[in-house]
Structure 1
Amino acid sequence: MRRIPAFTASVIALAIAGQAHAQAAQEGTTPANGQDGAAAGTAQSTAGSPAEAPDQAGDATAADDGSEIVVTGIRASLARAAEIKRTAAQVVDSIVAQDIGKFPDPTTAAALQRVPGVQVTVGGNNEIQNPLIRGLGDILTTLDGREIFTSDGRTFAFQDLPAEAIARLDVYKSNTANLIEGGVAGTIDLRLNKPFNYTEPTIAISGKLNYPSNVEKLGPQVSFLATDRWDTSIGEIGALLNVSWYDIPFNRPYNYVAERRAGSGSSEGILLPISTGGLNEYGRYQRPQANGSIQWQATPSLEIYIDGLYSAYRSKFSTGFYEYRLGTAESVSNIVRSDNCFTANVGPDGFNPNATTDPTQITQQQLCGFTSATFNNLEAFSSTQAHNNRTDTWLAAGGFRFDRDRLKANVDVSYERSIVNNENFIVDIGKRVPEATLALVNDDQTATITAPGNPMADARGLTFINALFQDYVRSSGGLFAVKGDATYETDTILKTIEVGARYADRSARFQQVQLGVAPPGGSFATPITAIDLPLERAPGIPQINNGAPFLLPSRDYLLSDSGQATIRDFFGAPDGQPAFDPTREFNVGENSYAGYVQAGYEVPFGSGPVVLDGKLGVRYTRTDRDITGTGVVSGSPVTTTSSNSDTDWLPNASARLQLGGGLQLRATYARTIARPSFASLNPGLNYIVSTNPNIRNSGSGGNPDLRPQKSDSFDATFEYYWNDGYFAIAGYYRDISDRVVNGVTAEEIDGIVYNISRPRNVGSAKLKGIEVSAQTFFSFLPGDLAGFGAFGNFTLADSKIGGDDPLAGYTLQGVSKYNFNAGLLYDRNGISARVVYTYRSKYFDEDRSGAGDVRPVGTETWLNYVRPNGRLDFSLGYDINKNVTLTVEGSNILRSRYRSYIDQDFLWRDTRTDDSLYAVGVRTRF
């Protein structure tokens, strides 16, 4: 029989609590709502064990002599998550760490994709990011109940907080009045470890080597946790420190086919891409992180605490472009037309005439796609975008908790500061090449490009083209918040009376400079040997020349002081980093005030097991905001300040009907809001003339008149729990008003047409669907087979934009209609294993209605769709003894890829080759 490791004994109280709940359900008694199961039972604990159950959990049974506990890891975390779901006042799903540093996925964002109804995307460095709850990204993130964000935004970059720091995360899909407002989609609360969760000194150390298959290099990550608690003359004091560090190499190749225009000459009648190519994002990133906590039990009723967090991101990496400018070809030959044709309106430039008002300049043409074509004597180029990116986030907080008799109260004061500094130094090189062949036919629906001899791997004839382009960004945000909550328990049907208030002072600032300087003599005129430009080989893109490497400017040289000085002098740019452009800046000051009152009720029906409980409440919130932005209008800088205030009442109601035997029904209603991002509210307008003649000029602007999004949210669930698992089915409906989307429209400014991207409110939107989730272990099987288990969830998200918006009748941006997870588990005899498949159906991620792509006559809406895809992950752990565990992990082992098309299935656009990541690790605990 295995003794529990010191740091896992927090699982004991919760597991026995879960058994007590199941027994109570059969006997017709249930702990009061909100106890989270922890108060339903007690357990013995061993040295070094967490003493409190709320933050860690497990599945446990006592030995015959009562002195030993048998604990299982995956079973423990799933049991705890099910208990949180069962007893919560809201519709909530949770993930609980199985051990210190043993979250079930490598990152916090990656773990979120396992939650029913949560969808994610993959970032340029191959990390999972941008979670959506039921297709919506308007999520409020809290850390131990405190609002947290990254830089000048309202959202938090989940990948900035390593999984090693997390004890548990809760995804709230319905609101109650005590939760901070700000998420139409829901709230994600991240919980860190605390010292009073442990009874005796505990040290945990883990290390892992990651192997990304695209890079074929190793990347280490390590974490360390130490905690202890002491009895002193002024009360018990506990302290905890947790630090972690990643250093991960990455390479994510992209392949793209750009927007189509009507061909001419030898390509007349053909849907001709203006360019095709790809890019590698490659380099390394580091994520240092530290968090700590001190707790002081000053009296039996009063606890005082101080918490701190520092998380950071560091990355020097390249975005290496490799493009063939098809529009510069002298001729197009070997065209193999496809049967995919349509009639399009065509402007004088061959593009969709969305900015042309003179009907005499518009022609109708029958245009067809092609499966293969050769472009002769055309321009090709490669480009190094040399990035040096840094993110730093600090959070400090303190407060007290009071718990005596019927009264519970807490006051929390926190301050957060988050700063992002991004440096981007770009140099393009190129030459004319004899030919390139683009093929648009294969079962994989990915474009392939070949050029004989791979000419961009040969340094001969390379010249400077386009411009030296410098882009520097500094964005920052700060938040000072004070929050107080109190709960009073009664002996009536009205079980609790809850009140609270919050004040938040938020600031944000964004600064940027973009400076482009043309090369001496113009593009394709000056050889790179003029300054002896160092080159490097990019890793290569699978769809271009079969993945052969290509040459581009050295990233390290472009990021070095000497390299930048030489290049600036050569291009005639000012010395040193350019000062921030006052026309690319905004400043925000925002104060928000909130207060709530809420009642918890419980109505027993006779002496049987049937009990009705829930919450009734309302939250009042007021937001006062000033935002100042400067942009360029008609060639002159214009500074605009916008001031506005929003006041909202946010009611909520929930009811849970417990029927006994583990069966319960739930219904909730809540009104929620999501404030627009500060960048979306920025009144400034900026635009730039493209240095690439084949790409239209572009710009972006904010909209200070954006209104907060609001949602009336309804949920209903059927839930059944048993000792080894649960089954739940939920229906949900969201009636959303003032939904914000970004769209591109063609605007003429000083006689030049720009594609301007702006956010707007689209009126109403509806989101409804069904979630089904289940998990169980097959304990009825004989012997070691009893360690097997399974889990799965499926979400149907049916969304539709309403009103008179151009997108009326379409789905919400980023929403997949179908999403599911399916997994097999094993947990027995020191072995814990998991394999899980995650899938999401197609969705659109960009509205290109205002772009220049030619399209069928009468087509106003033109969207970029992402094809369905799925990922297969696994993990395997083996306990060598009670102190040491070995692990092997793999993610995306089937090499899932992002593949998109522009409105019509045959108009292929992007392929992004996501990485497969393998890892081996060891965890020790004492």
Structure 2
Amino acid sequence: MDHVERAPVRAGATSTSKLRYGASALALGAMLVAAPAWAQTKPADEVSTVDEVVVTSIRQSLKSSQQLKQSSEIIGDSITAEDIGALPDRSVTEALQRIPGVAINRFAAGVDPDHFSTEGSGVVVRGLNFVRSELNGRDTFSANNGRALSFADVPSELMGGVDVFKSPSADMIEGGISGTVNLRTRLPFDSTKRLLSVSAEASYGDFVKRWAPTYTALYSDQWDTEAGTFGLLLSAVDSKLFTRADGTQVSNFGCRTGFTSAQTANPQAVDCPQGGKGVWFPRGAAFRSTETERERTGYAAAGQWRSNDDTMLATFQYLRSESTQSWTEHAMEIATDNVTSNGDSRPIDGTTFGVDSDGIFTNGIITGTTGWRDDQNGPDPRTPTFGLQSNNISRSVEQTYVTSDYGFNFKWTPNDRLGVAFDYQHVDSTVDNLDVGIWGSSFQNLDLKLNGSDMPVFTFIPPASGASIPACSPPSGSCSTYFTGAHNSFQDPYNSFWRSAMDHIEQSEGKEDAAKIDVDYRFAENSWLDSARVGVRWAERDQTTRFSTYNWGVLSEIWGAGGPVWFDDPINGNPATPGGSTSSAHTELYPFTDFMRGQVPVPTGLDARPFYNGNAAKDYAAMSAFALSVGDEWRARNGANGCAQNWVPLAQRCNVIAGTPFLPQEINPVNETTKSAYGMLRFKHDAGNDVRITGNIGLRYTETTREASGFRTFPLTNFSTDAECASVPAGQTPTPFCQLTPAIRAQARLWANGAVVPDTAHAKFEYWLPSFNLKVAMQHGVQLRFGLSKTLTPPEIGLTRNYYNLALNTNADGISNGMPTGNVTVGNPFLKPTQAKNIDASVEWYFAPVGSLTFAAFWKELTDVATNTTARVPFTNNGATFDVLVTTPGNAEQKAHVKGFEVAYQQFYDFLPKPLDGFGINANYSYIDSKGVPQSTLSATDPDVAAGRVSTVNTALLPLQGLSKHNANLAAIYEKGPISARLAYNWRSDFLLTVRDVIVPFAPIMNEATGQLDGSLFYTLNPKVKIGVQGVNLTNEVTKTTQVLNDQLLKAGRSWFMNDRRYTFVVRASF
């Protein structure tokens, strides 16, 4: 097994001698897993001493982690189960942030910086997200579009420890350029005595104001029989969490020309990227409140058998982790897409606005025109002429991640020289996700005041071009009834209409089988060579991604069918027939109580706004039926081509696979088979004067074949007929399509016939990966390390999908030399792994059992980084050929570099007088820098890049996505007698959250520097029972993001998010 060799005992010392060094039961489990399968056997009388030193203190956990780091042949860090439990880290992700060089963010998805995640996500090691995930040294993954495990979905309570390996050896499975995160579960032979432990926790979120329980249980025992020693371990956890996160946002800044000195003091403050001089002016603002319910359940089982002569050891391990999450969001946001297309935002007449020294708006009242209003000449001219259109969004998500892992390992050591290990694994993973929202819409102006880096204050006020809304009798298209007379309240359903709906479904699954054999031969004690190790591995992974588009569609709008369907309109699903029930029965007023803890006013004041009153995801059928009835009330559901022109549920779209909500191109199977082999020599030498040299040198070969199946889908488009093109009234300009030649128009109609063509791609990659690791141990606990290696990381599964969802652009901007062209984003089954050459070095000083000062430096040269590539490709269908501009993942040609260093220090100050001798410090700092790493705006889930909806900012000037130059952890510890306390602060400097926001103007978004203070206090009542309290986010940290405005990297405030302070009360018992 790969995990067997990660932290081997020092050459010449048996595993028993290492155990006598003072490991806790949990650390013992880690070392047994990490020690060679062929380590020298352990006499029973020596092993029995382990239980005499079993403790569960912070001091002991730090000691265990230090021993693992010191004895490892490669550079890395570990945390033990006691470390994980000592702070209120509810997931492995949150626990990992305590390790030097590891950082996390707190957004649900990097490309969507509008949705904050209370719990951590997005693990980055040494500034890169090329992280390999393992469970007990084996592959593990979540069946989404990525390749690694979603660490946030794994209960930390099931772990015996977590290792982060930062330099590789040849016997490690390839895949982690930045590092490998190995999750270790417990084993029955970790202790020689029966263990029974239980714990109960009650967690309270002071923002959501709800309690949530967590229960864990573990049983372990072993039995000596004539057939050998048998062990059994069972553990389970059920953990619930309720959270709330509020956000206030400014939507988005654009460089605007044409303002006058009567509107602002310096209307030409900056050079605009598009040309001319102007100021940075916002398009609106948004605010939101999200409540989340999360439950993690996990079950682990392990069985072990050891022969009586200690030559054979068999281990079976099982882990099932299930994470379910439900969240509901209420958001009000200015519809920046509509504001932009309707002439953009501007100050209201007769007012001025402030601008700072960088030319960025600071305060003022903003409005905009509403565009074409189809009710302006009808009997109900309600749509106002002025006002920023906003969305009242009710959105909910139901998602479930399940991963089941089965592992079997057999070790045979027939003598002191030879060891053989066989390992087999099977993994099943599923992802189910339903994301549904319904949008109401209204109009208002925005009174906005920015406060530098502090939260902005803004208010949504009635729409007007000047000081007030005019009252007209009778109303007309230029003087509407909106927000007039008895309807002068935003609570009134008269002032809101149903705009749109969206649904998205993912039902993905993956499985993997893997087997490997390792053989180790130990040389004589007096030889430079310690051992020779060889191994082979085979793995086959089948993954099917069923990932629908985010199916946004219109329910009603101001620009068609005589105007939208207002909340007070009766609906019966037929626009030609009056009557029906009033749609306001499906609304409720949402007041945003205690918004941002009262630190800023609610932008709607006391005027609560109406939202859809159901849970759109939990009651998907009911929401769909209502939304369809609204759309049917507005206009006919289907267009001339027989397909929906309004929103319809995913399963009702044209060309879906019967019985599913998916189009053929939304289902993408990928099969990968990997064969690997390695050879490695371990060496040792006593150089005298207590200097000992150890290390390894090896070579690994890996070959991967990939088969990706999918579809090439051509559009189904009803272009104008030649007769319609010929009948354009005099004085009107024909559409760009009608301006094409008759022959080209005929070709376009042939090409866009809705054809779906199956396609299968085959790819093969092979690599040689050398590695060298050297460790020099000297006097006084000082040791030096040096490593050279070549590593690789395969691309995300979502980027290798085989799909072509083609479109033909017959608008003016899509016609080139008299020919329509297309834009499309596709996957790339031929995408190669990213490769890296690595240099690692460290200086380490271990001056006490819990006392160390370490310095590690690293340098990486990356090649074949996945990034955007664009090519004009001809596609032929039905006898017609058109060029399509294809945006696809590709491997960059240029080289990139990442470098940095890590410093870590820990010590208990035992030399202080009592009771101060219980104080200690655990601290680390990382510096990381990058140069030339290609920035990609590609997303496996976001097709908008192909449509040209990208930022004008030169992404080459941005820092590497996810990389903070500075990361730090500082923990103050006190442990004396029955009291155990820790206060820990985690901080990282600003970093690029996403290269491309998903909304206009698709700007890069930075996460500003942020830190979080957590703490714990435990009291040991007796050797078997401990009680305690834990706290998270004790200082009520506000997470701030900024928008990058131009190539000079000027920034303006984008979002401010606030979430719960969480307090947990804990009871733990062991018997």
Determine the structure 1 residue equivalent to 2:128.
136
Determine the structure 2 residue equivalent to 1:18.
none
**Which of 551, 555, 559 pairs up with 1:519?**
555
What secondary structure, in the 3-state scheme, does the structure 2 residue paired with 1:786 have?
helix
Establish whether residue 230 from structure 1 lines up as the match of residue 220 from structure 2.
no
Report the residue type matching 2:141 in the other structure: F
What secondary structure, in the 3-state scheme, does the structure 2 residue paired with 1:80 have?
helix
Superposition pairs of residues 757-796 of structure 1, within 5 angstroms: 761=892, 763-796=894-927
Report the residue type matching 2:538 in the other structure: Y
Q: Which runs of 5+ in 1 are unaligned?
A: 1-20, 22-29, 343-367, 690-696, 855-861
Are the aligned partners of 2:557 and 2:564 in contact in 1 as well (CA < 8 Å)?
yes
**Which of 571, 584, 591 pairs up with 2:631?**
571
2 CA distance for matches of 1:619 and 1:117?
26
Establish whether residue 601 from structure 1 lines up as the match of residue 660 from structure 2.
no
Alpha carbons of 1:582 and 1:51: their partners in 2 closer, same or farther (altered >3 Å)?
A: closer
Deviations 1:759-802 (A, max 9, x none): 65363210111111110000111222111110111111011116
2 CA distance for matches of 1:812 and 1:626?
31
Corresponding residue pairs, total: 850
CA radius of gyration, larger in:
2
Determine the structure 1 residue equivalent to 2:699.
618
Alpha carbons of 1:700 and 1:490: their partners in 2 closer, same or farther (altered >3 Å)?
A: same
Alpha carbons of 1:385 and 1:438: their partners in 2 closer, same or farther (altered >3 Å)?
A: same
Alpha carbons of 1:380 and 1:653: their partners in 2 closer, same or farther (altered >3 Å)?
A: same
Superposition pairs of residues 96-495 of structure 1, within 5 angstroms: 96-98=80-82, 105-123=89-107, 124-152=116-144, 153-261=146-254, 263=256, 269-299=278-308, 300-325=310-335, 327=339, 332-333=347-348, 334-340=351-357, 369-375=361-367, 377-404=387-414, 405-433=416-444, 435-444=445-454, 446-452=455-461, 458-461=491-494, 463-491=496-524, 492-495=527-530
Superposition pairs of residues 821-836 of structure 1, within 5 angstroms: 821-836=969-984
**Which of 516, 531, 535 pairs up with 1:496?**
531
Alpha carbons of 1:919 and 1:786: their partners in 2 closer, same or farther (altered >3 Å)?
A: same
Establish whether residue 556 from structure 1 lines up as the match of residue 615 from structure 2.
yes
Are the aligned partners of 1:687 and 1:756 in contact in 2 as well (CA < 8 Å)?
no
Report the residue type matching 1:54 in the other structure: M
Alpha-carbon distance, 1:483 to partner: 1.7
What secondary structure, in the 3-state scheme, does the structure 1 residue paired with 2:429 have?
strand
Alpha-carbon distance, 1:115 to partner: 0.5
Are the aligned partners of 1:107 and 1:162 in contact in 2 as well (CA < 8 Å)?
yes
Determine the structure 2 residue equivalent to 1:706.
831
2 CA distance for matches of 1:714 and 1:297?
40
Alpha-carbon distance, 1:568 to partner: 3.5
Deviations 1:37-89 (A, max 9, x none): 7533538999x9997672699xxxx9xx9996584611111111111111111
* Backbone CA RMSD of aligned residues: 3.8
What secondary structure, in the 3-state scheme, does the structure 1 residue paired with 2:799 have?
helix
Determine the structure 2 residue equivalent to 1:348.
none
Establish whether residue 674 from structure 1 lines up as the match of residue 793 from structure 2.
yes
Determine the structure 2 residue equivalent to 1:730.
856
Establish whether residue 533 from structure 1 lines up as the match of residue 543 from structure 2.
no
Alpha carbons of 1:631 and 1:247: their partners in 2 closer, same or farther (altered >3 Å)?
A: farther
Alpha-carbon distance, 1:581 to partner: 1.4
Between 1:753-762 and 1:574-583, the stretch displaced more is: 753-762
Are the aligned partners of 1:706 and 1:761 in contact in 2 as well (CA < 8 Å)?
no
What secondary structure, in the 3-state scheme, does the structure 2 residue paired with 1:783 have?
coil
Report the residue type matching 1:518 in the other structure: V
Deviations 1:145-200 (A, max 9, x none): 11111114211111111111011111000000111101111101110011111222
2 CA distance for matches of 1:819 and 1:711?
23
What secondary structure, in the 3-state scheme, does the structure 2 residue paired with 1:545 have?
coil
Structure number having the greater strand percentage: 1
Alpha-carbon distance, 1:746 to partner: 14
Are the aligned partners of 2:283 and 2:345 in contact in 1 as well (CA < 8 Å)?
no
TM-score, with length taken from structure 1: 0.84
1 CA distance for matches of 2:823 and 2:358?
29
Alpha-carbon distance, 1:503 to partner: 0.5
Are the aligned partners of 1:719 and 1:729 in contact in 2 as well (CA < 8 Å)?
yes
Q: Which runs of 5+ in 2 are unaligned?
A: 1-6, 35-45, 108-115, 268-277, 368-385, 464-487, 569-581, 633-646, 653-660, 717-753, 809-821, 876-880, 937-953
Between 1:524-533 and 1:193-202, the stretch displaced more is: 524-533
Alpha-carbon distance, 1:864 to partner: 2.7
Are the aligned partners of 2:773 and 2:786 in contact in 1 as well (CA < 8 Å)?
yes
Alpha carbons of 1:406 and 1:701: their partners in 2 closer, same or farther (altered >3 Å)?
A: same
Determine the structure 1 residue equivalent to 2:665.
583
Are the aligned partners of 2:711 and 2:802 in contact in 1 as well (CA < 8 Å)?
yes
Between 1:818-827 and 1:91-100, the stretch displaced more is: 91-100
Deviations 1:224-264 (A, max 9, x none): 11111112332211111111111111222233333334558
Determine the structure 2 residue equivalent to 1:799.
930
Are the aligned partners of 2:30 and 2:161 in contact in 1 as well (CA < 8 Å)?
no
1 CA distance for matches of 2:499 and 2:627?
14
2 CA distance for matches of 1:409 and 1:71?
34
Superposition pairs of residues 894-913 of structure 1, within 5 angstroms: 894-903=1035-1044, 904-913=1049-1058
**Which of 871, 880, 890 pairs up with 2:1021?**
880
Report the residue type matching 2:532 in the other structure: I
Report the residue type matching 1:776 in the other structure: Q
2 CA distance for matches of 1:111 and 1:767?
24
1 CA distance for matches of 2:291 and 2:64?
39
Between 1:121-130 and 1:776-785, the stretch displaced more is: 121-130
What secondary structure, in the 3-state scheme, does the structure 2 residue paired with 1:39 have?
helix
Alpha carbons of 1:612 and 1:428: their partners in 2 closer, same or farther (altered >3 Å)?
A: same
Instruction: Give me the identity figure in percent.
Output: 24
Determine the structure 2 residue equivalent to 1:508.
543
Report the residue type matching 1:137 in the other structure: N
Report the residue type matching 1:221 in the other structure: T
Alpha-carbon distance, 1:735 to partner: 0.8
Are the aligned partners of 2:324 and 2:400 in contact in 1 as well (CA < 8 Å)?
yes
Alpha carbons of 1:449 and 1:804: their partners in 2 closer, same or farther (altered >3 Å)?
A: closer
**Which of 651, 655, 665 pairs up with 2:774?**
655
1 CA distance for matches of 2:26 and 2:1057?
45
2 CA distance for matches of 1:180 and 1:420?
25
2 CA distance for matches of 1:66 and 1:253?
50
Deviations 1:687-723 (A, max 9, x none): 999xxxxxxx997543344321111111111111022
Alpha carbons of 1:575 and 1:794: their partners in 2 closer, same or farther (altered >3 Å)?
A: closer
Alpha-carbon distance, 1:563 to partner: 4.2
Report the residue type matching 2:930 in the other structure: S
What secondary structure, in the 3-state scheme, does the structure 1 residue paired with 2:693 have?
strand
2 CA distance for matches of 1:574 and 1:707?
38
Determine the structure 1 residue equivalent to 2:1066.
921
Are the aligned partners of 1:125 and 1:281 in contact in 2 as well (CA < 8 Å)?
no
What secondary structure, in the 3-state scheme, does the structure 1 residue paired with 2:1022 have?
coil
Alpha carbons of 1:338 and 1:264: their partners in 2 closer, same or farther (altered >3 Å)?
A: closer
